Amino acid sequence: MKRLGILSGALFILLPLAHGASTVHPVRAVRVGVHLRNATPMQVTVGQTLTFDFVPLSQGPKLMSAMGGGILNLGTVSYYGGSTNKGIQIQRNDENFAVTAPLGVKLESGSSSSGTASLKAWLSMPVDPYQVYLDNVLLTLQPTAIQNAMAMGVTTHALKIVVPRSANGSSADFKASISFEITEN
Amino acid sequence: MNPVRRRLSSATVCRALLVGICLSSAMMAQPALAQSSSLSLTPAVIMAKGTFGQSLTQKLTINNNTPATFRFDMVAEDVAVKNGKRVFLPAGESPGSIAANAVFSPSEIVAPPHTSATVMMTVTLPQKTSLRAMVAIFHTKNVVATNEKGVGLTASIGTLVTFNLTNDVAVSIGPLQIHPPTDTTNLSIDSELTNIGTEPVLPKGTAAILNAKGHLVGKAPFTIKRLLPGEKLDFQAEYPGTLPAGTYRALCTFVVGSKIQNVQSDFTIR
């Protein structure tokens, strides 16, 4: 009896389901357009290695290794005294004097010795009241294009610091940090 | 005393203005750069070919061959061309910026001394853009600031990524400028090329030198340079050989993609 009850209950449940199923309209497969990113990979060709280094020049001041970069040793300079280090040029003006030193940069590209690179540079800290130029381009705290087609190999760059006559006391202590950025062309 | 000397002496000489580093014992202890201490990046250039909307994933490796630990932020910039020259623009500044869709993993990286570190870069191209290049930069956080008075130097390095997305490849070749040889220089042939298409190109050129009878007497390759759309650059071929006095013709051929373009000019060696 119990089994019959269960069975009849099951039938009772199933019958409505069967009835409902007969009223369900079959769903027609619908093509849904889905915007997908193109999954096909791009064809890629990669170049080789670009190597960058600061190098001392035979005609220039010493370049000391420090913190993965370098420190350019300009020695002691003064308006009348000139410089104690070789390779440093002094240009005297009425309101200021300029200290110019050659700086060596070496670029190597595994793909080509005749390639070029773009060079940008900027100051990592303010240097007021001084002015710093690299290859006659005034450096600021923002990256500035210095050369658009720097050759591979060792190239010489002119680092110029303009010292105002008004600099004295603590402002006569010059500190600067220059950042370079290189990208192969 | 000269008034000028009087005004300047106290501000400069007497106060011993020091620019740069004094030759102190502390500095003498630091070694000069006797051997290479470099940063290198692989690959330095990536050339991708595909269509708008596609993605590119590439591994970038920085090699720290220095005795210091380098810390980098990964930065992407778009490369545009204005007035025939490249300019680097912050990501998102340009319409259709490619750099804005660049993702680096990790976005900050540390490279201990004499080690390499790797970053995965994924770039997804916009559905529409006139840009065809970006740079992925290992932007150094290192600042060589010293207690001594001097100029610290540090470096960042970037990978150029170019994208060829259509078949619109075209280059305009300017007139040849021929510089005869001198006692200290070789014969050089120059031409300004302009990319007038919408895709980056790598023109490959050769200069053939013909004598008055039309016989080939020498050849010289032009330097290979990449031209982004709108960019113009001077290409040069240098012939190291010796040419007797006479009239010659330089016949220059440039291959750009599947196209071949010729330009020629006569010149005289005296």
DSSP codes, A90-131 = EEE-SSEEEEEEEEEEEEEESS-SS-EEEEEEEESS--TT-E
What is the nearest CA distance from A94 to chain B, expressed in angstroms? 8
**Does A177 score more than 90 pLDDT?**
no
**Does A21 score more than 70 pLDDT?**
no
- State whether A64 and B88 contact (CB < 8 Å): no
State if pTM tops 0.80.
no
Determine the pLDDT at residue A78: 60
- A166 in contact with chain B, both atoms CB, cutoff 8 A: yes
- A170 in contact with chain B, both atoms CB, cutoff 8 A: no
Question: Which residues are bridge partners to A72 per DSSP?
Answer: A63, B151
Confidence of residue A89 (pLDDT cuts 50, 70, 90): confident
Residues 230-249 of B with CB under 8 A from A: 233
- Which carries the bigger pLDDT value, residue B177 or residue A10? B177
**Does A11 score more than 70 pLDDT?**
no
Residues 195-214 of B with CB under 8 A from A: none
Pair of tokens at residue B145: 């600031």
- State whether A73 and B150 contact (CB < 8 Å): yes
Confidence of residue A88 (pLDDT cuts 50, 70, 90): confident
Determine the pLDDT at residue A113: 57
Q: Report the distance separating Cα B79 and Cα B161, nearest Å.
A: 9
| 3-state secondary structure (DSSP) of residue B180 | coil
Sign of CA dihedral B251, B255, B258, B259: negative
User: What is the number of other CB atoms lying within 10 angstroms of the CB of residue B22?
Assistant: 17
Sign of CA dihedral B79, B81, B87, B91: negative
Confidence of residue A173 (pLDDT cuts 50, 70, 90): low
Q: Domain extents for chain B?
A: 34-164, 171-269
- Which carries the bigger pLDDT value, residue A147 or residue A93? A147
Domains of chain A, with CATH numbers? 50-184 (2.60.40)
Q: Give the residues of chain B that fall short of pLDDT 50.
A: 1-35, 147
Query: Residue A23: which H helix or E strand, with range?
Result: helix A2-23
- A185 in contact with chain B, both atoms CB, cutoff 8 A: yes
Q: Name which of B18, B55, B143 is nearest A173 (Cβ-Cβ).
A: B18
Q: Are B34 and B97 within 8 A, CB to CB?
A: no
Residues 38-97 of A with CB under 8 A from B: 38, 40-56, 61-81, 84-85, 94, 97
Task: State which fold the B171-269 domain adopts.
Answer: Immunoglobulin-like (2.60.40)
What is the nearest CA distance from A164 to chain B, expressed in angstroms? 9
Determine the pLDDT at residue B123: 96
Q: Which numeric CATH code is attached to B34-164? A: 2.60.40.10
Q: Name which of A97, A172, A180 is nearest B156 (Cβ-Cβ).
A: A180
Confidence of residue A141 (pLDDT cuts 50, 70, 90): very high
**Does A13 score more than 50 pLDDT?**
no
**Percent helix / strand / coil, chain B, rounded to 5:** 5, 55, 40
ipTM over 0.85: no
- B45 in contact with chain A, both atoms CB, cutoff 8 A: yes
Q: Name which of B58, B69, B88 is nearest A44 (Cβ-Cβ).
A: B58
